[in-house]
Amino acid sequence: MKPKASNHLWAEIGRLKSQLSEANDTLDAIRTGQIDALVVNGDNGHALYTLKTADHAYRVFIEQMTEGAVTLNSSGLIIYTNSQFARMVGKYQSGVLGSKFIRYVSADHKSTFQELFDRGWRENAKREITIVAGESHIPVLLSLNALQLEDELALSLIVTDLSIQKENERQLRISNEQLENLNKALISSNHDLQQFASVASHDLQEPLRKIQVFSRFLKDRNFHELSEEQRHYVEKIILSSQRMKVLIIDILNYSRLSAEDGHFVSVNLQHLFGEIADDFDLKISEKNAIIEIGELPSIEGNKGQLRQVFHNLMSNALKFTSPERIPHIVIRKKDYNAKEFGVSLSQDETYCNISISDNGIGFDEQFATSIFSLFEKLNPKSAFEGSGIGLAIAKKIVDKHRGLIIARSKMGEGSEFNIILPLQQQK
């Protein structure tokens, strides 16, 4: 028997060992929060031992949630609610408990809720519906999960208030609509501008050319029959029509700049200024002007457009000369201080500054910005003819090259234009 008793003891030890390990596992699980209630088979049937700390934490958690949380029984009665849901429907918790949840659902969503309620017992379900709180309707997201409570199955509902989200969506939609309308208006106004350019290029120029043709015929063919006064009038017509032609062409060029997209190549500014000086050959010798061109770099840009910028600036420097001294125009690369100009430049770019200075009549520096506006002219028409578009074109081109153009001047002493351009353009 001895061996038998020994075997029995061994078996007893084994059983106790496994019980101990089970108890240890349970303790671990409790410690790590995997379990918050224990069902223990006792003398009076099953007893439920909840873990006070865990239960308390969850209750606080649910109370503090910004979502409403309710639990329904199988007939749809609210058996638990947090205070947030009660607040949502404008009642005290006690007033909500025991009532049917469906009574808080708006009339048009009652059938949807009923379907959701039926489905929620079998699977998790989510749906946006509207709940009623007194006079107001609140859009909410309902999230349903079946929940095994102590002795019966219940349905837990998380009720998320979507009012703010919906309002944001509405605002966003309105903003989008406004943006879309603005965009449409912009496209249409761009189209109008193109139309205008086309009209200006042909329809306006045709009658203008007739005025030019016939006023010239009148002058050339009938010169001797015209009185001095009549000749004077014809001359005025010819000059005005010439001037109008310049205006139309300049406006066209300006409006075309918006449409053209940048085609950037490496432009040798040294060569460019050489070419421009050649263009003004006649004017330069006529005015005995001294043109000094320093060492200039190559930069990336649209060659035709850059040429136009410097052409316009050179043209101005040669136009607004002072009769008191020999015109002296200096073009050079110059160090600059962005702060001194009161501007900010991108840190990721390398820029160069081209300065064009003259000793002409200058202008009042209070106009240093406005001279770049379309049709802005500072000088009386009779003294210096021009369309008032040259600097506007220059500014627009420099803008398109992501650069800056800054004018400085002293009345009666001369002007300086600084053109700060990035060495490289974005491809």
Partner 1 sequence: MTIRNVILVEDDPDDRDLFATFLGKRRDVHLLPTVTNGVELIQYLELSSDAELPHLIVLDQNMPMMNGKQTLQYLRSTGRYAKIPTVIYSTYADSSLVVDCKSLGAKMVASKPIDDKGYQKMMDDFLQII
Question: Segment contacting partner 1 (CB under 8 A): 49-57, 150-158, 206-214, 345-353?
Answer: 206-214
Tokens at 156, concatenated: 């837990």
Nearer to partner 1, 241 or 418 (CB): 241
206 binds partner 1 (CB under 8 A): yes
By CB under 8 A, residue 217 contacts partner 1: yes
**213 is a contact residue toward partner 1 (CB under 8 A):** yes
Least separation in angstroms between CB 329 and partner 1: 29
To partner 1, the closest distance from the beta carbon of 261 in angstroms equals 15
Count of residues touching partner 1 (by CB under 8 A): 12
N- to C-terminal Cα distance for the chain? 98
Chain-centre distance of CA 290, in angstroms? 48
The Cβ-side half-sphere exposure at 283, using a 13 Å CA radius, reads 18
Give yes or no for residue 221 binding partner 1 (CB under 8 A): yes
User: Binding residue for partner 1 (CB under 8 A) from 100, 191, 210, 325?
Assistant: 210
Closest approach of Cβ 397 to partner 1, in Å?
17
Return the DSSP state at 370.
G
The window from 31-39, 155-163, 167-175, 200-208 that contacts partner 1 (CB under 8 A) reads: 200-208
Residue 2 or 221 with smaller CB distance to partner 1: 221
Question: How far is residue 107's CA from residue 96's CA, in Å, rounded to a whole number?
Answer: 18
State whether residue 203 is helix, strand or coil: helix
Q: What are residue 126's DSSP bridge partners?
A: 143
Q: Is 375 one of the binding residues for partner 1 (CB under 8 A)?
A: no
Whether residue 140 contacts residue 106, with contact meaning beta carbons closer than 8 Å, is answered with no
Three-state SS at 199: helix
Kindly state the tokens that stand for 15.
């059983």
Nearer to partner 1, 216 or 287 (CB): 216
By C-beta, is 103 or 210 nearer to partner 1? Answer: 210
Q: What is the C-alpha to C-alpha distance for residues 401 and 331, in angstroms, rounded to an integer?
A: 20
Going edge to edge, which strands form the sheet with 153-161? Answer: 78-81, 68-72, 153-161, 136-148, 125-133
Q: Which of 71, 112, 201, 322 binds partner 1 (CB under 8 A)?
A: 201
Angstrom distance (rounded) from CA 31 to CA 35: 8
User: Does residue 220 bind partner 1 (CB under 8 A)?
Assistant: yes
Nearer to partner 1, 260 or 413 (CB): 260
Interface residue with partner 1 among 122, 202, 224, 339 (CB under 8 A) is: 202
Using the rule CB under 8 A, give the single segment among 116-124, 140-148, 198-206, 381-389 that binds partner 1.
Answer: 198-206
Whole-angstrom Cα distance, residue 406 to residue 196? 30
Is residue 212 at the binding interface for partner 1, with CB under 8 A as the rule?
yes
**Residue 209 is a binding residue for partner 1 (CB under 8 A):** yes
261 touches partner 1 (CB under 8 A): no
The overall longest dimension of the chain from CA atoms, in Å, is 159
- Closest approach of Cβ 216 to partner 1, in Å? 4
Minimum distance between the CB of residue 313 and partner 1, rounded to whole angstroms?
23
Q: Where are the beta strands (DSSP E) in 61-212?
A: 68-72, 78-81, 125-133, 136-148, 153-161
361 in Cβ contact with 320 (< 8 Å): yes
**Site of interaction with partner 1 (CB under 8 A):** 201-202, 205-206, 209-210, 212-213, 216-217, 220-221
